[in-house]
Chains A and B, each alone.
Chain A
Amino acid sequence: MKILVVEDNERVAQFVTKGLREAGHAVDHAATGRDGMFLAASEKYDVIVMDRMLPGGIDGLAIVETLRKTGNKTPILILSALAEVDDRIRGLRAGGDDYLTKPFAFGELAARLDALARRSQGTDPNAALEVADLKMDLLAHRVSRGGTPILLKPREFALLEFMMRHAGQVVTRTMLLEHVWEYHFDPQTNVVDVHISKLRQKIDAGFSPALLQTVRGVGYRLGAE
């Protein structure tokens, strides 16, 4: 992927660009809002990482708004040290596609960027999903593996649907909480792990290979290795 990182903090910028480059992405970095605006408008990126507070009092949100007004639809992840929910909503309203607060784990950022770039390729809401021999019929609300029907509760179905839509990508616990449960808080216990292991029992037990992988310290990935 080609990624633009607009971030004025040198350490953070280095951490992000280095990590993304090591993951095989082409990364451009802009340290000011003006450079960021210029690059975003002149180059074609798969996804943009935009810091909210930029030098010179420029709000990253203003850049996002300007880009959207000029018809630029590149997915944008807003990076901010402001955590208030109100702030997150404002970021998304300005045209951001995702919001991540500092400090963040690199795995979380990479997973979210992956999901954003993939989403921009578009997914048919009615298409049947397929990962290896695991099949999901969205219209009939049916799941089967190797021809054997699997009975899922509604939330398990939603969880699996999200995993299948992001097959091959790492999804984090927070992403699952936000998209499957629509919760924007951290439950005190790691409830997502428990739900994943229940789902794993249903779709992996008795089948080979195991499809639902745990990515240590980051999250999960669905797919045959």
Chain B
Amino acid sequence: MSWQYGAWTAVHRLPLGLSRYPEVGQAVRAGDIIAAGTTYGVPVRVATARRLGITPADLERVLRVSVGAEVERGALLARTGRRFVRAVSAPIDGRVVHIRADGDLELAPIVDRWIVRSTLDGTVTASDDLAVTVEGAAWALQGVAGYGPDAIGELTLVAEGASADLVPSRIDVRQRGRILIGGARGGAEAIARAHACGAAGVIAGAVPAGGLRVVFGEDVSAQGSPSRADTPTVLCLLGFGHAPLPSQIFAPLATLAGSRAAIHTESARLFVFAPADAVQLPSQPASLALVADWGALRAVDGVASQAADMTFASEVVGAAIMTADGPIPAANVKSLV
């Protein structure tokens, strides 16, 4: 998909341990903290209803803390009776994470804290324990796969051109906190260097699949792998291997360089926060072709015409598109609208 300005929705999934989340309707900006929480250590099960001699259904009535509350060791968790008091106190510092169906409490120590930042300027439209959804207007570019955590930063043009590779030597610590625009290919070395220099993320026409394995591990797939881990953020715009960016994609990217932007890895989208008239989109959409050995993608330039069915080298028969470089199966050409 090519550039579009419009209203977008970004769903930010949350891990366990949420302690703060926004109200629906709250206005947020990309980069604002929209949720915060804690990472837990090994939980401790605290017999509560049984100790108090009540049924699990009655537990809520006598609880002195709610789920999610932070407590110190010895803090009163639940209490019943007036003259003959029965009470349950916290055996450790931590948070109440769960009330079990049998009336026991799960208390877990806090070992770390996490935050989730918005990737859109807009309004919170849904918010619960699992996810926060933000809706807002932005320029957006749909990629094919996003890897790593979400990233927010200033869009910075690093590659020499739409067909150039992202060269590690062009990346340094001055690009800390920025989203770097690569060209046709962002290799593992460039991605690792960008991460080491503190860059927020890297976007490129393509990333070598082998490089993705080096950076993100053997389990990486073509569908992307959003995560919260401290890994680089990478957005593949067109595919894998090598993919020069068509001018319809690269020119607006270059124009928007310097704008605030965000990569939402789960949806594989780049959001750029600039006025609706900041970019004049070309009237002709870009066409993209998968090369014959599927190892790369290329823009279909010049005049291309639909030809009749033809037999390819593999003996597969199918509709072909005639280009200056020869016929391409029509199924392997798509228009980026």
- The yes or no verdict on A and B being binding partners is no
Q: Which A residues contact B (CB, under 8 angstroms)?
A: none
